Amino acid sequence: MATVELDADFLALPLESVREAALDRARALGCEHAEVRVERIRSQVARLRDARLETSADNLELGIGLRVVHDGSFGFAATVELDPGAAGELVDQAVATARATAPAVTERVELAAEPSHGEAVWTSSYRLDPAEVPMAEKVALLEDWSGRLLSASGVDHTTAYVLAVVEDKYFADLAGTVTNQRRVRVHPVVEATAVDAEETGFETMRSLAPPAGRGWEYLLGEGWDWDEEIARIPEYLAEKLRAPTVVPGAYDLVIDPSNLWLTIHESIGHATELDRAMGYEAAYAGTSFATFDKLGGLKYGSEIMNVTGDRTVEHGLATVGYDDEGVQAQSFDLICGGVLVGYQLDRRIARAKGFDRSNGCAFADSPGHIPIQRMANVSLRPAAGTGPSTEELISSVDNGFYVMGDKSWSIDMQRYNFQFTGQRFFRIEKGKLAGQVKDLAYQSRTTDFWGAMQAVGGQSTYRLGGAFNCGKGQPGQVAPVSHGCPSALFKSINVLNTRTESGR
């Protein structure tokens, strides 16, 4: 892992005096718990349309978020004024809010214990700070990528963009934990569009490179072969434009990690969040069919299904040293041998359901938002030993499709019924790939789908996918998260034709 220093400008902020002012005041007001975060989030966007710069943004967010537990009630307050005086006032405000809401609090807030970790420093694994790369260099790289696509025959339009985020976070709580952490992530994307001039039809083909907990080096080829990917997009696009429309029905699907990560995210990641299972998100993100009474008994999928949650994997988007409740990052089992064995926790729900300790999944997306239970990197384990290659999985299918890349996604409020599309769908006939089809969506129910998983690929097929924009909570918060998985084979899954679905 690369060693990176914390940022000197961030360390020059009045972190310690804010901490002292906030925690002293919280102690004086008799808070059972108090935590203060000073966060600086630098986010940059460059977006090119047909190789011309369309959008650029360079934003810096800086503020204090403060949460207390006072007499069994939470109180939260945040400000952008960064001085000890403001920090002290925040405590007063948070305690006043806790008092004001107390009459409507019918369950006392208590937190699972977490030892003090003293003073700790952690940085994510990256080499080049993307915020230090001049905007002109970002634009030049995206111009080059767009130009290569536009010069290929059959490409009418391109979109290319990069999002880069650098988070510096200082955290301190009444228990004595004081952490200073830096996280870096980038999301580069290129997409080509072909328009059929004769008809009102068009197709797109997007890069499959996942967003990653890496620095600018990722765009220079470290961790992804951009030259190879950009070179292949025009031929995939041309083939898709000419491809036959899919005949709906039940088919075997070999799903590539570039598509399967999102199905894992929606049907396992969110379903194993304990706050959802307890109903906290019933009015917004939804609940979960995997309710707490089913822990240890629910048959989630076939016996080869093993799923873990972690906040520790290198380059993972949800990877941290310590969460926003001062809990050290961990790795834990969610599904073993197809059976539900665990949940993602924060300190309140851990305590409410009798767990000894939180597994470190509390996170706020900004200084202005309250920490809530957010997703760990939830990943499907590959087959033990060498395991099958993707080609070997394909060769075992008589009549089906090989699905690559994510596109459209939707799942119901209890995480049963889902529908996904993708970037590329290759017909599989008698174990061989036989060209692309288009207009394909697959639809299933979570436990039916995972129960139909007949084979998982080996470690050689394993990839980390992910997203920057997982949404949850009110007011809405977005969080980055990764999901690792191998290629996998699913038997007899319902395939729809999206043209037919629209009544055409």
Partner 1 sequence: MSAATGQLTQAHLVVEQALEASRSEACIVIVEEDSEAELRFANNTVTTNGTRRDRNVSVISFRETEGGTAVGTASSSGAADAVDLVRRAEANAATAPPAEDASPLVGPSGVALPSEFADPPQMTSLAGLGDVLARLGDAFGRARSAGTSLYGFAEHQVSTTYLGSSTGLRLRHVQPTGKLEVVARTDGGERSAWAAAGACDLATVHVEELEERLVRRLAWAERRIELDPGRYEVLLPPDAVADLVIMLGLSTSGREAEEGRSVFSAPGGATRLGESLSTQPFSLRSDPGEPGLECSPFLATSASGQDMSVFDNGLGIERTEWVSQGRLARLQYHRAAAKRSGMEAATLADNLILELPGATASLEDLVGRTERGLLLTCLWYIREVDPATLLLTGLTRDGVYLVEHGEIVGSVNNFRFNESPVDLLSKAIEAGRTERALSREWNEWLNRTAMPPLRVAEFNMSSVSPAT
- Window 128 to 147, contacts with partner 1 (CB under 8 A): 134-136, 139
| Residue 120, number of CB atoms within 10 A of its CB | 15
Whether the CB-CB separation of 118 and 321 falls below 8 Å is answered with no
Site for partner 1 in 107-126 (CB under 8 A): 107
9 makes contact with partner 1 (CB under 8 A): no
Whether the CB-CB separation of 435 and 243 falls below 8 Å is answered with yes
| Complex with partner 1: residue 148 or 369, whichever CB lies closer | 369
45 makes contact with partner 1 (CB under 8 A): yes
282 makes contact with partner 1 (CB under 8 A): yes
245 makes contact with partner 1 (CB under 8 A): no
User: Given the rule CB under 8 A, which of 78-86, 144-152, 257-265, 383-391 is the region that contacts partner 1?
Assistant: 78-86
| Complex with partner 1: residue 55 or 399, whichever CB lies closer | 55
| Complex with partner 1: residue 231 or 282, whichever CB lies closer | 282
User: Given the rule CB under 8 A, which of 67-75, 110-118, 125-133, 377-385 is the region that contacts partner 1?
Assistant: 67-75
DSSP string covering 313-380, please?
Answer: STT-TT--SB-TTSPBP-EEEEEETTEE---B--HHHHHHTT-SS--S-EE-SSTTS--EE---EEEE
Whether the CB-CB separation of 310 and 377 falls below 8 Å is answered with yes
443 makes contact with partner 1 (CB under 8 A): yes
449 makes contact with partner 1 (CB under 8 A): no
For 209-305, list the strands marked E by DSSP. 249-255
| Complex with partner 1: residue 214 or 472, whichever CB lies closer | 472
| Residue 431, number of CB atoms within 10 A of its CB | 14
Q: CA-CA-CA-CA torsion for 96, 97, 101, 106, nearest 10 degrees?
A: -90
233 makes contact with partner 1 (CB under 8 A): no
User: Given the rule CB under 8 A, which of 92-100, 116-124, 172-180, 393-401 is the region that contacts partner 1?
Assistant: 92-100
CB of 393 to partner 1, least distance (A): 27
User: Given the rule CB under 8 A, which of 15-23, 286-294, 311-319, 427-435 is the region that contacts partner 1?
Assistant: 286-294
Whether the CB-CB separation of 146 and 158 falls below 8 Å is answered with yes
Structural tokens at position 65: 């978020």
Which of 2, 11, 16, 55 lies at the binding interface for partner 1 (CB under 8 A)? 55
Length of the chain: 504
Site for partner 1 in 144-203 (CB under 8 A): 156-157, 193, 195-202
CA angle 478, 484, 489 (to 5 degrees): 120
Which of 16, 17, 28, 81 lies at the binding interface for partner 1 (CB under 8 A)? 81
Structural tokens at position 461: 């097929």
Strand partners, 379: 308
Closest CA to 486 of 455, 461, 450: 461
Site for partner 1 in 379-418 (CB under 8 A): 408-417
Q: CA-CA-CA-CA torsion for 110, 113, 115, 121, nearest 10 degrees?
A: -60
Site for partner 1 in 478-497 (CB under 8 A): 494, 496
| Complex with partner 1: residue 17 or 410, whichever CB lies closer | 410
CA distances from 221 to 119, 225, 229, 426 (A): 36, 5, 11, 27
Site for partner 1 in 261-280 (CB under 8 A): 278-280
Which of 75, 188, 211, 269 lies at the binding interface for partner 1 (CB under 8 A)? 75
